[in-house]
């Protein structure tokens, strides 16, 4: 069984795997607790099988991934292979992405090659603030080259983050690494690389819109914020120049897709734009067809 694109209601391009089959979490518990408080989240660590069941009931597909921040946080990551194996159990609703810390260098590139060839991984997720790198500093360029050569997209966290929010020093996490203007350099240096800027990029929303408008290879996913909090300039861009470049994303489990979709339905989004945001743009950007 595989994705039935015609019968899917939507494609959620941003879903986190926060616990593996052995009970190991993607982040240290204090960071999980801080983000749950920040987002007022419910169940913080659903399993992959539970994620699949939830999305299947709603006829929604989900891009799933973890975040490899072993070096910065001193906390072992969830295995990319385990994420891919979970998606393989539910190929009708789950799309596997990997996450590789750019600090792993050539070993990281070799891992990406294995993940694509042997496990069907469809792209990579980066979190510059958690992984402590600037996207344009060259550290991740070998990974970008490998992704571009294979026609696979890269998702980047942008803007502020609930991870570390309220902890002393924000848990040591530096927001400046997630400025979307850093991705403008990457988009120029790798015009064949599909870049997805995740989240409304507060406090850099104007910059994100500018980059996505200027660079054909850049899209935006709308995860991490309830749509009722979207800046008005973002709503205007969704209805206008970015109507083919914005993607539904929830950031589940910190934001429930039901809540996101209900709030999105209340936005003044043009009827012809809604299906693009909910599904059509993701099919094209992720090359699912």
11 three-class SS: strand
Distance (Å) of CA 44 to CA 17, 47, 88 = 10, 10, 23
Long-range contacts of 205-209 (CB under 8 A, 24+ apart): 205/159, 205/231, 205/233, 205/234, 206/233, 207/179, 207/180, 207/181, 208/158, 208/159, 208/180, 209/233, 209/234, 209/237, 209/242
pLDDT digits (tens, 9 = 90+) for 21-79: 889 988 778 887 777 787 777 777 899 999 999 999 999 999 999 999 988 888 889 99
Q: Among positive and negative, which fits the CA dihedral 224, 40, 202, 77?
A: negative
Q: Across residues 109-117, what is the average pLDDT?
A: 98
Q: Report the pLDDT value the prediction gives residue 29, as an integer from 0 to 100.
A: 83
Other beta carbons within 10 Å of 88: 12
Q: Report the pLDDT value the prediction gives residue 32, as an integer from 0 to 100.
A: 79
In order of their start, the domains of the chain are 10-285 (3.20.20.140)
pLDDT digits (tens, 9 = 90+) for 230-277: 999 999 999 999 999 999 999 999 999 999 999 999 999 999 999 999
pLDDT digits (tens, 9 = 90+) for 87-100: 999 999 999 999 99
Backbone dihedral region for residue 105 (phi beyond 0: left; psi -120 to 50: alpha; all else: beta): left
98 three-class SS: strand
Average pLDDT of the chain to the nearest whole number = 95
Looking at the chain, the whole-number percentage of residues with pLDDT higher than 90 is: 85
Looking at the chain, the whole-number percentage of residues with pLDDT higher than 70 is: 99
What are residue 134's phi and psi, to 5 degrees? -90, 125
**Interior angle at CA 181, CA 199 and CA 110, nearest 5:** 80
**Strand partners for 156:** 126, 197
Q: Across residues 207-222, what is the average pLDDT?
A: 98
Pick the residue with more confidence: 224 or 33? 224
Q: Please check whether residue 183 is in contact with residue 198, taking contact to mean a CB–CB distance below 8 angstroms.
A: no
Confidence of residue 1 (pLDDT cuts 50, 70, 90): low
278 pLDDT exceeds 80?
yes
Q: 205 is written with which tokens?
A: 């929303």
């Amino acid at each position: 069984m595989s994705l039935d694109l015609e019968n899917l209601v939507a494609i959620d391009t941003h879903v986190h795997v926060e616990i593996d089959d052995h009970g190991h979490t993607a982040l240290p518990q204090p960071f999980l607790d801080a983000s749950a408080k920040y987002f007022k989240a419910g169940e913080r660590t659903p399993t992959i099988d539970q994620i699949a069941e939830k999305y299947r009931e709603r006829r929604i597909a989900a891009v799933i991934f973890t975040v490899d921040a072993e070096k910065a946080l001193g906390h072992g990551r969830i295995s990319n292979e385990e994420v891919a194996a979970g998606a393989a159990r539910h190929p009708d609703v789950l799309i596997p992405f990997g996450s590789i810390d750019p600090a792993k260098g050539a070993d990281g590139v070799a891992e990406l090659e294995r993940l694509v060839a042997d496990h069907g991984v469809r792209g990579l997720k980066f979190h510059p603030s958690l992984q402590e790198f600037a996207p344009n500093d060259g550290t991740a360029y070998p990974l970008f080259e490998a992704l571009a050569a294979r026609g696979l997209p890269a998702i980047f966290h942008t803007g502020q983050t609930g991870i570390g929010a309220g902890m002393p020093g924000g848990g040591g996490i530096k927001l400046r690494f997630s400025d979307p203007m850093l991705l403008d350099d990457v988009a120029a240096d790798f015009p064949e690389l599909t870049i997805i800027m995740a989240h409304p990029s507060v406090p850099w929303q104007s910059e994100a819109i500018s980059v996505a408008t200027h660079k054909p290879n850049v899209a935006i996913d709308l995860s991490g914020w309830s749509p009722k909090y979207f800046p008005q300039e973002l709503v205007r861009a969704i209805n206008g120049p970015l109507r083919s470049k914005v993607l539904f994303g929830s950031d589940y489990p910190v934001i429930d897709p039901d809540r996101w979709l209900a709030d999105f339905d209340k936005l003044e989004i043009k009827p012809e734009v809604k299906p693009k945001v909910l599904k059509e743009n993701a099919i094209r950007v992720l090359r699912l067809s």
